[in-house]
Amino acid sequence: MHAYIRRAVLLTAPVVLVSALAVGCSSPEPAAGGTKPTPVEASASFAKQDDGKPAEEAPSTAPAAPSLKVGESGTFPTGKTDEYGENFKVTSKMQITVVSAKYVTPAEVDTTNKPEQGQYVKLTLTLKNVGKAPAEFAAYGMMMWEDDQTAAQDATTLEGVGEGPDLDTTYKPGQSVTGTLVLDIARKGGKVSYTGGDDPEADASFVVELPK
């Protein structure tokens, strides 16, 4: 009789131990006055914190670039950034006038090179410093063409370089230059954007809408 009771006690001991461990691993009770979240509420809270969506970017503070057709003028700011390329500060202002945009053949720009993209366009611009400090303009590698079918592509070429006034220079207040860029684009139409501005938040300084 005593042996039977002793065996029963031994068999029930692990059950008590497992129950104690289960209680010890459970979530602690909430502080006085609080409520313990249900599993559904906890899951919903986690989903809100990690929903897989990227954080929203702060809107750009750069002014909208003027979009110009032949015969139109606009202005864009120039300036400088800090040593980290941030905190743009306006120091001067440039005026841009689209004088003409003419589609040309290689022979018309005195070259034997065929346009890699498909079409040459001779773009004549007038740039003038209408600000109070010197400003630079550098078009090479910074004139991007695109349309509804083709994403932005570098349109600059070395064709026509050395003929006539050079737009790529430093402009003192009041100075201006009327010069020509020969651009290589995929087809007639679309738009050309100047992306060589100083403001890191600006997609472009100005945009030229080409005729079709």
- Neighbour tally for 189: CB within 10 Å: 17
Domains: count for the chain: 1
Residue 201 inside a domain? The answer is: yes
Cα gap 99→135, rounded to integer Å: 21
Domain of residue 185, CATH code:
2.60.40.1240
* Closest of 16, 5, 198, 2 to residue 91, by C-alpha: 198
Q: What is the DSSP string of 75-111?
A: EEEEEE--TTS-S-EEEEEEEEEEEEEEEE-GGGGT-
Asked if residue 158 is part of any domain, the answer here is yes
pLDDT tens-digit profile of 70-84? 999 999 999 999 888
Residue 20 belongs to some domain of the structure? no
What is the identity of the amino acid at 174?
A: G
Task: Check: CB of residue 191 under 8 Å from CB of residue 151.
Answer: no
Question: Does residue 97 register a pLDDT over 50?
Answer: yes
**With bands split at pLDDT 50, 70 and 90, how would you rate the model's confidence at 63?**
confident
Q: 29-50 pLDDT, tens per residue?
A: 555 555 555 555 555 544 444 5
Q: Which domain holds residue 98?
A: 67-209
pLDDT given at position 136 = 95
| 24 part of a folded domain | no
Res 139 pLDDT > 70: yes
* 7 in any annotated domain: no
- DSSP letter (8 states) at residue 60: P
Q: What's the pLDDT tens digit per position in 101-136?
A: 999 999 999 999 999 999 999 999 999 999 999 999
Name the band, by pLDDT with cuts 50, 70 and 90, for residue 154.
Answer: very high
* pLDDT of 144 strictly over 70: yes
**Residue 27 in domain:** no
C-alpha 189 chain-centroid distance: 24
Instruction: Provide the pairing of β-strand 67-68 with 206-209.
Output: parallel
Confidence of residue 11 (pLDDT cuts 50, 70, 90): very low
Is position 171 within any domain? yes
What is this structure's pTM?
0.70
